[in-house]
Amino acid sequence: MKKIVTLILLSTVVFYACKNDGPSGPDVSDFDRQAILENWADEIIIPAFTSFEKQTSRLDSAGVAFTTEPTMENLKELRSEWEDAYISFQHVSMFEMGRAMELRYRDNLNIYPTDTAEIQQNIEEDSYNLELPSLNNSQGFPALDYLLFGLAESDSDILAHYTSNTNAENYRNYLGDLTSRIDELTSQVLNDWTENYRDEFVQNSANSSNSSVDMMVNDYIYYYEKNLRAGKVGIPAGVFSGTPLSTHVEAYYHGNLSKTLLKEAIDASQNFFQGNHFNSTGKGESLESYLDFLNTMKQGADLSELINNQFLLAKSEAENLDENFSMQVELDNSKMLETYDKLQKNVVLLKVDMLQALNINVDYVDADGD
Amino acid sequence: MKSYILPVLLILLSTSLISCSTNSNDEPDIDEPATYNFTRNGESTVSFTGQTTRILMAQELFSAMSDFDNSTEELLLEMYRNQTAEGGDADPYSNSDLNSETKSVKSKVAASRDYFSSNASLSAELKNNFETWLSAQVNEVFVNENELAEPGKAGQIASGSSTRYISAEGLEYNQMVAKSLMGALLADQMLNNYLGTSVLDEGTNRQDNDAENTAGASNYTNMEHKWDEAYGYIYGNSADPQNPNATLGSDDIFLNKYTAQVSEDADFATLAEDIFKAFKRGRAAIVAGAYDVRDEQADIIRKNISTVLAVRAIYYMQAGKAALSESSPAYGSAFHSLSEGFGFVYSLQFTRVPGTDQPYLTHQEVEGLLDDLLGDGPNGLWDLTPQTLDEISETIASRFDFTVEQAASN
């Protein structure tokens, strides 16, 4: 009996010592989570989708104009709208929740490399159902990239696919179906935000794994890790495969847009972290202010400052890259790897240090299973 | 205070050490090697080529079930039977070594001595389950390759960034086949055939083993070989079969893989090591003629392999529950988990309670659970409720010495 008492006493001492380790500070639940959700929904997410939806609508109009009258001028106009929309998309891609999650919006709009064989087959047969998950990689921005820039070497040969090619009508149909689907899906997501989801999102402000803050933060970090760090830089640089994959860059057929898209995505990620209002100078509650409220420190420095610095370091490293990432990985992949390393450091700060401070659990795992 | 605790702990420690050592002194000496390396006259006595072959056949069958462009019902059935429909020689595999084999997957499904030697009708029924699923993959799923699945309609569904192909009830037949084979082929042959005394001690096996009479032209005794054949069903495709745990998890998609996965759960951390040690010690005991030690090791393996199947069954039931409970249910990933779970539940009828001739759940009980899984409404998994998944999980866990939470936490 004495032994047991001793052991119990001993473990109490040990536990007490553990519990008493850190300095006491503000608690995560003291922060106004609803204020953060309002800022996200009203000043960032809905404005970003509103702006993007204007772009997709212009893209679709340009698609209609070109398929009705396939001239070089209309092709160039369509390409330019595609470019603007693709850049604008970088500001909404991370918000895969609500209707976007149900639609698997991001997978419909931006899986690359695109499946050119399947695109050609769809055009050949003039029969396809773009709602099928197996056709995710033959639609969206990457498929348009191929159809607008990759069908042939010269612009006149590309245009000929839509005019004199035996399947010209099928080419026009497919292109038009892709631009209208991007616009249609985007309208669905935006309308759901403004009509239903905004209130549900803001009111779900508790401190639990199903709350909006926890879900949004998980989606944000998932996006940053998988789509930004890995998709835009790590996969083409061969971080996961061992050898560089120059055909796996974003906007491969365009050739000079991958760097622009990366920088835009880094900016969008940092803006979200800082709570900056979309396309304006205002600022509200954010992950940054939440961390500051909690006085979160790492190795003697403010964690929010470390994260902000890391965004800037990643961006300045990216400045050294060629506009064309495909060229970059072939000529000097070490610069891509440097950029990757800078981006990776923020995965650790966000996913480990920040989540620990905010008492949020990661709700996704790396593997998709078999 | 410190001076008082230390002696107490030391006493406690030594007591537990004493109570652990139960060696009796009348055992023959067992010479246990560091790895699964057994020799006679300088040559290895270990052989399990038949098991490696069947693992490779089953893996090809699994891949072929997703090959929409090249697979036919005829081809899948030939891969299962390694015979044509007329019973002639078939060459269905891409690996030519497999084509030259006369062995097949089907002949060893539900075919163990202990469970099926006097139960031919059940054996035939279970063998046919797989043929039904193979045919359905072609006749229900392949034909709807380019359809969107919905309740009551086969087709494709997204699961994360993957595309899955499901039946009208939401089931992936390829997952059901692969995971069900783990019980019906691998565990059944291992636990209820080769590790059973009716096979190990058959005929003059004991006398032959004691006298080191090797079998025909082989370098092993019959008993040694039977034990090794059990070993081959988990380590038969290992990079280094003498030290298989070095690459455990990456050598096949069956027991090897899932033993590794379950061992990653802290609640079952020693499981992979326990299984390998028991195989090694049991084999050394055969060499030493220590048959009671051999049978103790067989029971350790039975308990732990059964645990792998049960933990994974519960794990997938709970993963399915979590996906179905999301604010907008993630049907694709739920159905994927539940199709794997279906196979693991199916496999439980081939488990073995140590010291008995019984599975942890009988054939009838497993059938009942699978009916429950698909029975919440007319459209199978589409209608499934979280409550049913909890009931199935609890039923399984109640037969083992772990909880649903422990199994689900991997």
Find chain B residues with C-beta within 8 A of A101's C-beta. Answer: 328
CA dihedral A27, A28, A32, A34 (to 10 degrees): -160
Nearest to A323 by CA among A260, A266, A265, A263: A260
**B336 in Cβ contact with B164 (< 8 Å):** yes
A219 neighbourhood in chain B, CB within 8 Å:
none
Chain A residue nearest residue B340, CA to CA: A370
Separation in Å, CA of B8 to nearest CA in chain A? 6
**Residues making up chain B, counted from first to last:** 410
Question: Is A194's pLDDT higher than 90?
Answer: yes
Q: How close is the nearest chain A Cα to the Cα of B343, in Å?
A: 14
Of A6, A133, A368, the CB nearest to B157: A133
pLDDT-derived band at A28, boundaries 50, 70, 90: confident
d(CA B311, CA B320): 14
Number of helices and strands in chain B (H, E): 18, 4
- Nearest-angstrom CA–CA distance, A249 and A256: 11
B163 closest CB neighbour out of A3, A134, A370:
A134
**Residue A259 near residue A322 (C-beta atoms within 8 A):** yes
User: pLDDT for A9-25, tens place per residue?
Assistant: 444 444 443 333 444 56
Map tokens 């595999």 to a residue: B93
Minimum Cα–Cα distance from B331: chain A residue: A102
Secondary structure of residue A321 in the 3-state scheme? coil
Which B-chain residues 280-339 have CB contacts (< 8 A) with chain A? 327-328, 332, 336-337
What tokens does B78 get?
């030939």
**Phi (first) and psi of residue A147, to 5 degrees:** -70, -25
Q: Which two tokens stand for residue A272?
A: 């979200």
Per the document, the length of chain A is 370
pLDDT in tens, B248-275: 999 999 999 999 999 999 999 999 999 9
A145-161 per-residue burial string, b: 16 or more CB within 10 A, e: under 16: bbbbbbbeeeeeebbbb
Q: CA-CA distance, B305 to B354, in Å (whole number)? A: 11
Strand partners, B236: none
Least confident range of A138-152, A282-296, B322-336: B322-336
> E strands, A229-347, where?
297-298, 301-302
Nearest chain B Cα to A366, which residue?
B160
pLDDT of residue B328: 81
- Contact list in A for residue B327 (CB cut-off 8 A) is 210
CB contact at 8 A, A316 and A325:
no
**Beta pairing, strands B39-40 & B43-44:** antiparallel
Q: How far is CA A235 from CA A281, B39, B243, in A?
A: 34, 48, 34
Chain A CB within 8 Å of residue B179 CB: no
ipTM of the modeled complex: 0.72
- A6·B4 Cβ contact <8 A: yes
Neighbours of A112 (CB within 10 A): 23
pLDDT digits (tens, 9 = 90+) for A243-282: 999 999 999 999 999 999 999 999 999 999 999 999 999 9
Q: Mind listing the pLDDT tens digit for each residue in A341-368?
A: 999 999 999 999 999 999 999 887 654 4
Distance between CA atoms of residues A78 and A84, nearest Å: 10
What span, in angstroms and rounded, lies between the C-alpha atoms of B276 and B234? 10
Residues of B within 8 A of A369 (CB-CB) are 336-337, 340
Which residues of A fall below an 8 Å CB-CB distance to B?
Answer: 2-3, 6-7, 10, 101-102, 104, 107, 111, 129, 131-134, 136, 210, 368-370
Nearest CA to B291 out of B42, B70, B27 is that of: B27
Q: Is B183 helix (H, G, I), strand (E, B) or coil?
A: helix
User: Taking CB atoms and an 8 Å limit, are B5 and A111 in contact across chains?
Assistant: no
User: Which of B12, B157, B253 is nearest residue A3 as measured by Cβ atoms?
Assistant: B12
Which of B10, B13, B146 should be substituted to probe chain A, the one whose Cβ sees the most A Cβ atoms within 10 Å?
Answer: B146
Cβ contacts (< 8 Å) between B253 and chain A: which residues? 370
Distances (CA, A) of B56 to A219, B70, B80, B94, B344: 39, 19, 12, 11, 20
Mutate to test the interface with A, among B12, B161, B312, B409 (most CBs of A within 10 A): B161
Q: Per-residue pLDDT tens for A152-181?
A: 999 999 999 999 999 999 999 999 999 999
For residue A2, pLDDT beyond 60: no
Cβ neighbours for B73, distance < 8 A, ≥ 6 positions apart: B134, B135, B138, B139
CB atoms under 10 Å from CB of A206, counted, come to 14
Size of interface A-B (CB pairs under 8 A): 45
pLDDT in tens, A96-139: 999 999 999 999 999 999 999 999 999 999 999 999 999 999 99
Three-state secondary structure call for residue B80: helix
Query: Nearest by CB to B5, which of A6, A107, A132?
Result: A6
Q: Is A102 close to B160, i.e. CB distance below 8 A?
A: no
Angle at B18 between CA B12 and CA B20, to 5 degrees: 105
Residues of A with Cβ-Cβ distance to B66 under 8 angstroms: none
Look up the pTM and report it.
Answer: 0.82
How far away is chain A from the Cα of B265, in angstroms, using its nearest Cα?
15
Distance from CA of A2 to the nearest CA of B (A): 9
- B156 Cβ under 8 Å from any chain A Cβ: yes
Q: Give the dihedral sign, CA A67/A72/A77/A80.
A: positive
Residue B328 and residue A102: Cβ atoms within 8 Å?
Answer: yes
DSSP B220: S
Q: Which of B163, B257, B315, B344 to mutate to test the interface with A (most CBs of A within 10 A)?
A: B163
Q: pLDDT tens digits, chain B, 410 residues: what are they?
A: 445 555 555 555 444 444 444 444 556 789 999 999 999 999 999 999 999 999 999 999 999 999 999 999 999 999 999 999 998 999 999 999 999 999 999 999 999 999 999 999 999 999 999 999 999 999 999 999 999 999 999 999 999 889 999 999 999 999 999 999 999 999 999 999 999 999 999 999 999 999 999 999 999 999 999 999 999 999 999 999 999 999 999 999 999 999 999 999 999 999 999 999 999 999 999 999 999 999 999 999 999 999 999 999 999 999 999 999 987 899 999 999 999 999 999 999 999 999 999 999 999 999 999 999 999 999 999 999 999 999 999 999 999 999 999 999 86
B219 CA: distance to closest CA in chain A (Å): 40
Which residues on chain A are in Cβ contact (under 8 Å) with B8? 2-3, 6-7
In this complex, which of B156, B162, B332 lies closest to A132 when CB atoms are compared? B156
